[in-house]
Structure 1
Amino acid sequence: MPRAARPLAKHYGDLVWASLIEARPAGLHTRQLVAATRLKKSQVARGIGHLRDVAAAEHLTPIIYTYKDGYVFSDEPADWIEYEKKQFRQILGRLTRVITGTLDPHLARCPEDEWAQLAVAQLTGVRATLAQLSK
């Protein structure tokens, strides 16, 4: 369930939404959104967050980001899948660093720690799932 939007985030999201719809099928980078909406960079970021949390689901229009085009509403499922895979790869990288940089040394020093054992057992499955999804 999407979180409830704060009024300003909704306003920023509406401005970002309108700018992206107007630019369609092209996308806009953050600096272009700042110029188009006359918002600050942080406000554009809140607007993008609102779009991701609420508006995209309401309008059934995924918002993706590419280095080439910036933020864009794409109608191509292949674009959505490529973006989703990139996101899963990033999450996988962060999760792997938590496991190898924190949990593995934790378990090496305290092998009987029940919490660390549980965390490693659960996250190993998540890690395998993310690895499959990011392929």
Structure 2
Amino acid sequence: MPLRSKRPARPREARPLSEHYGDLVRVALMEARPAGLHTYQLMVATLLTRSQVARGVRHLRDVGAAEHLTPIIWRRKDGYMFSEDPADWIEYEKKQLAQILGRLTRMITGTLDPHLARYPDDEWAQLVTDQLTGVRSTLAQLSKPSRS
């Protein structure tokens, strides 16, 4: 029986899984540049599951893109990609703002408006409506398509 060293084992420092997934997704997208990759292509390239790819993309958006100074965008025809063109970034940002505007509008018309209709003196509903009216207006302005 071999003798074991009496030296204590060093604790392993594990990286968060999302960081590891983000690294794999980033490398796959960098290798595909200037093209993009759809989710299923990222799954094949990284050997990750769909949910792991999603976690990797979220990590890239939260941390990785800021560190590498290139935003990750998504387009229906190209999938996820790193683009060097600011016009691509603006197009993606406007589409994201339009989605947020849609969700906010549905919340206002489907929840807040009926709330105020039943309880017009409710301070909470009045406050939220007043605040979100400005947000809604700003999002509508920011998400307008560019004039070309």
TM-score by structure 1 length? Answer: 0.95
Amino acid in structure 2 at the alignment position of 1:36: A
Residue by residue, what CA displacement relative to the aligned partner does 1:51-82 show, whole Å, maximum 9, x if unpaired? 00000011111000000100000000000000
Q: Which runs of 5+ in 2 are unaligned?
A: 1-14
Alignment-derived partner of residue 19 in structure 2: 10
Q: Which runs of 4+ in 1 moved over 2 A?
A: none
Amino acid in structure 2 at the alignment position of 1:28: L
Alignment-derived partner of residue 3 in structure 1: none
Residue by residue, what CA displacement relative to the aligned partner does 1:59-116 show, whole Å, maximum 9, x if unpaired? 1110000001000000000000000000010000000000000000000000111010
> Does the residue aligned with 1:71 lie in a helix, a strand or coil?
strand
Amino acid in structure 1 at the alignment position of 2:117: A
Q: Which runs of 5+ in 1 are unaligned?
A: 1-5
Alignment-derived partner of residue 3 in structure 2: none
Counterpart CA distance in 2 for 1:74 and 1:121 is: 38
RMSD: 0.7
Q: Please state if 1:52 is matched with 2:86.
A: no
Alignment-derived partner of residue 99 in structure 1: 108
1:88 aligned to 70, 74, 97, which one? 97
Counterpart CA distance in 1 for 2:74 and 2:97 is: 14
Give the length in aligned residue pairs.
Answer: 130
Between Structure 1 and Structure 2, the one with more helix by share is 1
Alignment-derived partner of residue 31 in structure 2: 22
Counterpart CA distance in 2 for 1:48 and 1:80 is: 16
Alignment-derived partner of residue 35 in structure 1: 44
Q: State the identity %.
A: 77
